[in-house]
Amino acid sequence: MTINSKVFERLFFPLNKEVYELIQKILDEMGENQKNYNISIRYNQPDLNIEKLQFSVDFDISLGYIKKPSDFPNGNLLSLAFNQGNMINSFHIQLKYLLGNNNDVVLHTESNYIYSYTIYTDKRTKVDSINNDVKVPQDINPYLYIGITKKSWQSRNSSHCQNMINNPNRLISKALNGDFGEIKEKKLLIEKTGLTEFEALSLEEKEVNERSLNLLFPNGLNMIPGGDAGRKLFENKKAS
């Protein structure tokens, strides 16, 4: 098993090469038959952002096991977290997407991925289902946004930040601005990669309708349906 740093950076953002080397060392020691594990990277600096990560080597890397494998039925995980002031930023992806599973497809500039973006705002803590020994903020009903993109998360996140200024009345903008409470953690999970536009739109429509459409779920941050249905609704509103 060999991690592909180009795929990670296509989906997320650049990291220091030392991070990839230590991930690979763990993979070599693990072998190919281990299941339900999580490689966790935790940065120690108190106030980081995405742009600084590629220069940082102040991190701890560990191997843990997923407490509830049913939450992640498709395999092993890579998780990364850092603090931005008092807020945790965490990122998660199934390792199979970084280990040769359709790498050429994922790296293509027209490849899409679907992501869930969860925002936790209260001060309760409970044991995380990924890392048994790590306590993270958890809402009973955290705020959830589901989207698709061709961009890296570094670029897509910049768009979300710009929308906080240009479109402050969107629910995702309000959540990110702290209108629904002080943010304790922002959690990104890339759920599926290597999708065509048709596949991505179809999956987004299904997932938004079942999990995050605000008309159906009070803590959902998607204001319109996903997929083609959402695009048509948006276009009709612009035309009217």
The per-residue pLDDT for 237 is: 61
The per-residue pLDDT for 193 is: 93
Q: Report how far residue 24's alpha carbon sits from residue 33's, in angstroms, rounded to the nearest whole number.
A: 15
The per-residue pLDDT for 127 is: 40
The per-residue pLDDT for 138 is: 52
Q: What is the pLDDT of residues 128-149, one digit of tens each?
A: 444 444 455 554 568 999 999 9
Domain count, the chain: 1
The per-residue pLDDT for 229 is: 73
Q: What is the pTM of this model?
A: 0.86
92: left (phi over 0), alpha (psi -120 to 50) or beta: beta
Collapse the DSSP code of 134 into the 3-class scheme (helix H, G, I; strand E, B; otherwise coil) and give the result. coil
| Residue-range definition of the domain harbouring residue 64 | 5-239
The per-residue pLDDT for 1 is: 81
Collapse the DSSP code of 171 into the 3-class scheme (helix H, G, I; strand E, B; otherwise coil) and give the result. helix
Collapse the DSSP code of 47 into the 3-class scheme (helix H, G, I; strand E, B; otherwise coil) and give the result. strand
**Antiparallel, parallel or unpaired: β 185-195 and 87-94:** parallel
Low-confidence spans in the chain with pLDDT less than 50: 123-134, 139
Alpha helices in 12-166 (DSSP H): 17-30, 103-107, 153-166
The per-residue pLDDT for 236 is: 64
